[in-house]
């Protein structure tokens, strides 16, 4: 009970009461000891003095007692009583004979009856002390026997005034109590000052921490108001603070600049512990204010990025898979109001991505890596599809794990890409038109010859055997098929690429490119040879765009061979197209024995509009577009070339299952 009450006291009062109790205990003990020592010592001393007086009287008075000379005896008694200071101490002296009769006394009044016969002694005792009544007071009666030889001839009684002794003791006690009180008062004062010195700063610190905990940083008396702070790092939040940024290791670069006189940090080693505590506390308040300022700034930056960012941003709760926040831009891009969006399942906007996203972040909640997805389909209000690039990363939103999904609408870009690819494709087709015309001419000529023959047979009524008739008809039909094949292949090339991905066997686009070009190339004495692996696994891509890539590579190979031939080479032109696969991926390579590519040209071939061909012959877009398409499917396009020997372009795609696992 007392303990808990004591615990509730302020530090100042604890100090005060502890010191008070200790002082009172010490003072009490000293007072008791002193009283005992002083009073008993004083009483003993006075008794000894009384006894000495009595002995002196006994020695000096023996002779007068024996001679019964009471006058001289009286003189001796007065002598002894009046000597120096004894006047106040010695109340009386009287001498009795051996029969107890009063021989002489110092009373100026008749001898008090009440003293007669008190405190009698025999020769066997040295002295006897007894308190006897004396008028209104009392006295210590010290009786000493007067001896002549071994016989007692009388007794000396010396009465010491008890009132005088009490008076002396009282004075002594008052002096002592005064001294103790002075000590107590001084100690109180000192303890009060000490307690104030310690408790006042502690109370100030308590008040400040209380203010800080309530978010009030400006009331602090310890540090200046924000306008008066002369700290560059405080006003420029990009500037690292030498003190805590360096200590936390957040500053990776050079050591941050430290001002000559740092307004922020004070070394807490100066002064006593209380001053050190105050300095440390001040430093702490500074740090908190600096952190808070930085936090506020970065918070407002992120908030304004979220509010006014050019791209839609959603916050999706990982557990409920519902949107918990969305920025204003989402309303413009997705056509929903914010109220409609909040609470909506993320899968409504993009089912595929939602599935992948929650799997990715649920497998490893602590995964810090952002998940990036390119050109995925999201649905606007009314289920209108659009293409978006998405970056998703895990955060903690109101203590729950959530995903920030930032999307960029790339529908225009995807369409423009497709248009560019289409334009480049049409250009290639344009280039091939002469070859195609020649290609078509052959079956048409054969058909014409067949039909002319049949017309002639009909007009001239010539009889021909059935087999020959059937042969001509079959040949016409074959040539029609051939012509329609050429037209179909051309059509499939000319078709605008579909935007959706599909399963593709690389051998198929290779096949159509070869069928379209091989005959034409023969005119220029360029032979296309294929080595296709029949067990090629599927990749995820678009058939039409892959045709485009292969077309570019094969036409470039042809150009390189033609260029080499123009320089007078006798080597037969050969383009080898090979498909193969391993555990990781599927590849197609286009190898030629053309001019080859010098290193300085090889560095630039993928740059848009880079061409070494004459104006009108090359646009410099073929490889740039092919590279873009290959990267879109997660593939790689590499070159191996030796000037004079030829070039090999290899396109490599991840196998479907490998690509899926990587996502
Ligand atoms: P273009 O064919 O319109 O010039 P490309 O982007 O297809 O544009 O090719 C860029 C350049 O790369 C070509 O101009 C040529 O110099 C070089 N090149 C491409 N393929 C080959 C090849 N098989 N052999 C030699 N040079 C090549």
**Predicted pLDDT of residue 586:** 95
Is the Cβ–Cβ distance between 388 and 645 less than 8 Å?
no
Ligand 1 pocket residue status of 133, Cβ below 6 Å? no
Ligand 1 pocket residue status of 611, Cβ below 6 Å? yes
Could you read off the pLDDT of 99-129 as tens digits, one per residue? 888 888 988 888 888 888 888 888 788 888 8
Residue 577 CA to residue 510 CA, distance in Å, equals 8
Q: For the CA atoms of 118, 123, 128, 133, what is the dihedral angle to 10 degrees?
A: 10
Could you read off the pLDDT of 374-384 as tens digits, one per residue? 888 999 999 99
Could you read off the pLDDT of 355-366 as tens digits, one per residue? 888 888 876 555
Ligand 1 pocket residue status of 560, Cβ below 6 Å? yes
Could you read off the pLDDT of 547-563 as tens digits, one per residue? 889 989 999 999 999 99
Q: Which residues contact 335 (CB under 8 A, 6 or more apart)?
A: 380, 381, 382, 384
**Predicted pLDDT of residue 242:** 75
Ligand 1 pocket residue status of 341, Cβ below 6 Å? no
- For residue 655, which phi and psi values (nearest 5 degrees)? -65, 155
Helix, strand or coil, per DSSP, at residue 83: coil
Distance, first Cα to last Cα, the chain = 68
- Rg (alpha carbons) of the chain, rounded to whole number: 62
Ligand 1 pocket residue status of 557, Cβ below 6 Å? yes
**Predicted pLDDT of residue 410:** 92
Question: What's the gap between Cα 43 and its chain centre?
Answer: 79
Which range, of 17-21, 120-124, 220-224, 483-487, averages the lowest pLDDT? 220-224
**Predicted pLDDT of residue 516:** 82
Q: H/E/C letters for each residue in 430-478?
A: HHHHHHHHHHHHHHHHHHHHHHHHHHHHHHHCCCCCHHHHHHHHHHHHH
Which range, of 150-154, 290-294, 423-427, 455-459, averages the lowest pLDDT? 423-427
Instruction: Encode 469-508: b = buried (16+ Cβ within 10 Å), e = exposed.
Output: eeebeebbeebeebbeebeebbeebeeebeeeeeebbbbe
Residue 658 CA to residue 233 CA, distance in Å, equals 50
Residue 391's pLDDT band (cuts 50, 70, 90)? very high
Helical pair 162-213 and 273-308, crossing angle rounded to 10 deg:
20
Task: Classify residue 384 as exposed, middle or buried by CB count within 10 Å of its CB (0-12, 13-18, 19+).
Answer: exposed
Please check the confidence at residue 218 and state whether its pLDDT lies above 70.
no
Residue 601 CA: nearest ligand 1 atom is 16
Element (H, E) at 522: helix 507-523
The label of the residue with tokens 């972040």 reads: 361
Which range, of 58-67, 167-176, 554-563, averages the lowest pLDDT? 167-176
| C-alpha 566 to ligand 1 mean position (Å) | 16
Here the tokens at position 406 are 């930032």
**Predicted pLDDT of residue 563:** 92
The residue whose CA is least distant from atom 23 of ligand 1 is 557
Mutation choice for ligand 1 from 425, 553, 605, CB with most ligand atoms inside 8 A: 605
Length of the chain: 663
Residue 610 CA: nearest ligand 1 atom is 10
**Predicted pLDDT of residue 395:** 86
Residue 290 CA to residue 8 CA, distance in Å, equals 35
Residue 179 CA to residue 306 CA, distance in Å, equals 78
Ligand 1 pocket residue status of 549, Cβ below 6 Å? no
**Predicted pLDDT of residue 79:** 84
Residue 345 CA to residue 324 CA, distance in Å, equals 10
Helix, strand or coil, per DSSP, at residue 653: strand
Could you read off the pLDDT of 185-217 as tens digits, one per residue? 887 788 778 877 777 778 888 887 888 777 776
**Predicted pLDDT of residue 214:** 79
Element (H, E) at 403: strand 400-409
**Predicted pLDDT of residue 219:** 58
Residue 583 CA to residue 418 CA, distance in Å, equals 32
Residue 232 CA to residue 237 CA, distance in Å, equals 9
Mutation choice for ligand 1 from 548, 610, 623, 624, CB with most ligand atoms inside 8 A: 623
Looking at per-residue pLDDT, the higher value among 495 and 517 belongs to 517
Looking at per-residue pLDDT, the higher value among 464 and 240 belongs to 464
| C-alpha 604 to ligand 1 mean position (Å) | 10
Residue 65's pLDDT band (cuts 50, 70, 90)? confident
Is the Cβ–Cβ distance between 439 and 519 less than 8 Å?
yes
**Predicted pLDDT of residue 338:** 92
Residue 354 CA to residue 359 CA, distance in Å, equals 8
Task: Classify residue 198 as exposed, middle or buried by CB count within 10 Å of its CB (0-12, 13-18, 19+).
Answer: middle
**Predicted pLDDT of residue 415:** 85
Residue 329 CA to residue 456 CA, distance in Å, equals 76
Residue 621 CA to residue 196 CA, distance in Å, equals 85
Residue 229 CA to residue 113 CA, distance in Å, equals 98
- For residue 448, which phi and psi values (nearest 5 degrees)? -60, -45
What single DSSP character describes residue 346? G
Residue 388 CA to residue 357 CA, distance in Å, equals 15
Most confident of 30-34, 44-48, 210-214, 538-542: 538-542
User: In this structure, are strands 539-541 and 384-397 parallel, antiparallel, or unpaired?
Assistant: unpaired
Please check the confidence at residue 84 and state whether its pLDDT lies above 70.
no
Q: What number of other Cβ atoms are within 10 A of residue 269's Cβ?
A: 8
Is the Cβ–Cβ distance between 592 and 529 less than 8 Å?
no
Task: Classify residue 622 as exposed, middle or buried by CB count within 10 Å of its CB (0-12, 13-18, 19+).
Answer: buried
Residue 104 β-bridge partners:
95
Residue 77's pLDDT band (cuts 50, 70, 90)? confident
């Amino acid at each position: 009970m007392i303990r808990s009450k004591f615990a509730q006291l302020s530090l100042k009062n604890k100090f005060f009461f502890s010191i008070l109790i200790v002082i009172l205990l010490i003072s009490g003990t000293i007072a008791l000891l002193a009283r005992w020592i002083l009073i008993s010592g004083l009483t003993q001393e006075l008794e000894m003095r009384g006894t000495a007086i009595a002995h002196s009287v006994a020695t000096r008075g023996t002779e007068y007692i024996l001679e019964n000379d009471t006058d001289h005896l009286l003189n001796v008694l007065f002598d002894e009583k009046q000597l120096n200071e004894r006047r106040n101490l010695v109340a009386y002296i009287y001498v009795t004979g051996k029969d107890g009769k009063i021989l002489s006394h110092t009373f100026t009044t008749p001898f008090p009856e009440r003293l007669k016969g008190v405190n009698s002694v025999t020769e066997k005792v040295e002295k006897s002390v007894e308190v006897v009544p004396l008028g209104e007071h009392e006295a210590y009666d010290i009786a000493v026997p007067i001896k002549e030889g071994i016989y007692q001839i009388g007794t000396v009684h010396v009465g010491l005034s008890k009132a005088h002794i009490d008076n002396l003791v009282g004075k002594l006690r008052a002096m002592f109590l005064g001294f103790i009180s002075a000590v107590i008062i001084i100690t109180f004062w000192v303890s009060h000052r000490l307690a104030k010195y310690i408790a006042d700063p502690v109370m100030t610190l308590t008040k400040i921490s209380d203010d800080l905990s309530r978010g009030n940083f400006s009331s602090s008396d310890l540090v200046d108001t924000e306008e008066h702070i002369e700290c560059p790092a405080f006003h420029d939040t990009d500037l690292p603070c030498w003190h805590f940024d360096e200590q936390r290791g957040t500053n990776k670069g050079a050591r941050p600049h430290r001002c000559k006189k740092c307004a922020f940090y004070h070394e807490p080693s100066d002064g006593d512990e209380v001053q050190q505590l105050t300095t440390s506390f001040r430093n702490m308040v500074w740090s908190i204010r600096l952190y808070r300022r930085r936090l506020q700034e970065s918070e407002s930056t992120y908030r304004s990025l979220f509010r006014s960012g050019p791209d839609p941003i959603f916050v999706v709760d990982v557990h409920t898979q519902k949107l918990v926040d969305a920025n204003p831009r989402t309303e413009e891009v997705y056509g929903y109001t914010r109220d409609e969006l909040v609470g909506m399942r993320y899968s409504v906007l993009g089912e595929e991505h939602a599935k992948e996203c929650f799997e990715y972040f649920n497998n490893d909640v602590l995964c810090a890596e952002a998940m990036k997805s390119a050109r995925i389909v999201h649905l606007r209000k009314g289920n209108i599809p659009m293409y978006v690039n998405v970056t998703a990363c895990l955060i903690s939103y109101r203590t729950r794990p959530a995903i920030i999904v930032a999307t960029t609408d790339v529908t225009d870009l995807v369409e423009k890409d497709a248009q560019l690819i289409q334009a480049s494709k049409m250009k290639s087709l344009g280039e091939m038109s002469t070859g195609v015309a020649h290609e078509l001419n052959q079956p048409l000529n054969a058909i014409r010859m067949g039909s002319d023959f049949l017309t002639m047979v009909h007009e001239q009524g010539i009889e021909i055997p059935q087999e020959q008739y059937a042969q001509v008809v079959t040949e016409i039909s074959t040539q029609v098929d051939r012509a329609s094949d050429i037209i179909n292949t051309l059509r499939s090339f000319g078709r605008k690429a579909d935007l959706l991905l599909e399963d593709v066997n690389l051998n198929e686009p290779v096949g159509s490119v070869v069928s379209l070009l091989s005959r034409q190339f023969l005119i220029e004495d360029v032979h296309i040879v294929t080595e296709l692996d029949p067990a090629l696994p599927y990749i995820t891509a678009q058939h039409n765009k892959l045709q485009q890539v292969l077309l570019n590579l094969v036409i470039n190979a042809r150009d390189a061979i033609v260029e080499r031939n123009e320089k007078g080479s006798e080597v037969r032109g050969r383009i080898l197209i090979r498909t193969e696969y391993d555990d990781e991926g599927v590849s197609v390579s286009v190898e030629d024995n053309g001019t080859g590519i010098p290193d300085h040209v090889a560095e630039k071939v993928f740059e848009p509009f880079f061409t070494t061909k004459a104006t009108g012959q090359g646009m410099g877009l073929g490889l740039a577009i092919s590279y873009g398409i290959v990267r879109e499917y997660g593939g790689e396009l590499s070159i191996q070339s030796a000037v004079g020997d030829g070039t090999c372009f290899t396109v490599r795609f991840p196998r479907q299952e490998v690509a899926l696992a990587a996502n």
